[in-house]
Structure 1
Amino acid sequence: MKAFPVLLLVSVILLSCQPEKKAENLKKMQHPSHQYTFVELDSDAVKYLETDYIPVYSDIYHMDGTKRFLLTSTLSVRNTSLTDTVYIFSANYNDSYGKQLRKYIDSTILLKPLESIEFVVEYEEDKGGAGASFLVEWGADENASQLLIQAVMTGTSNQQGLSFLTEAKVVKQEFRD
């Protein structure tokens, strides 16, 4: 009976060490949802090319404006076409000053009809700031308005929970013959 409290204490200590390993693994995860299809295709090969700006918030200010509330941001890129494929050429994460902090893909991603992909800015990332953003460059041969790009920010602290959504703004379009 005296061994039970010691065994319980050792179990609690061992279990409390495990979440740190899980958080470490999350930092390395870039493609959380499924296996993406990478193709060798340059942006010059498509008839339509677009660059979208998506505001994301790695943190927001609260209380008197001096405290930061850290958030996890998920960028969602959705092909809404029932028939056409699109190509994602780049997805770059920038800080409040426009400086690129992370390049999320190294080669072109093929996005089939109705397929979605996500990129996650983890909770611990605190360099982006309240003015962070993504720039996504994508292209297609047909139907140039078929992507839906949104960012969802979520965060919890104590019993406080927060979530909100932002949408992409087209900053550059190029139509080719």
Structure 2
Amino acid sequence: MQRYLSSSEYIDFEAPEVQALARHLATEAASETELVRLAFEFVRDEIRHSVDFKLNPVTCKASDVLRHKTGYCYAKSHLLAALLRANGIPTGLCYQRLSIAGGDAPYCLHGLNAVYLKEWGWYRVDARGNKPGVNAQFQPPREALAFPIVAPAERDLPEIWAEPLPVVVDALSRYDTYEQVLANLPDIELIA
């Protein structure tokens, strides 16, 4: 579990502002599960999704997401992982492969988290941010993610990553504006 508890370049929970928020959330929670819920709701509701709000800059590191209060789903998942890891809660990164056009190609990755809850084991949460048609919630053991898998080539990817996928980091690092990222969303090829 150590790799799901470590600070890193993108899940930089040792940054002072991330540490401060992690400590504040811990003081508000009566249990570990409540702490996960509070951190999830903070990232979901207080960090604005870059596309929904048409916001720059493009963020990747957890500390930058918190500083600028904006990020794509991937970056928001980095912040949630940082807040929970700072409190000793194992947290990984997960991805879905979704259709951009509503059923067919092109496809892109969508970033979310898996959190290890003592009562239920690994549990996926999606702090992307709610809007009409998107209603992600924290309701363990039932998952309530932002997007269901509906198209034949869409997938819930089963891996729980300790670090962001390189293709995600590349997209968030290469482009300067949310529009540029939107035009070049990361994707991977599925193995048959």
Same fold (TM over 0.5): no
Q: Compare the two structures and name the one with the higher strand fraction.
A: 1
Shorter-chain TM range is under 0.3
* Higher fraction of helix: 2
TM-score, structure 2 normalization: 0.23
TM superposition score normalised by structure 1: 0.24
If you compute each CA radius of gyration, which structure gives the higher value, 1 or 2? Answer: 1
More contact order relative to length (CA 8 Å, sep ≥ 6):
1
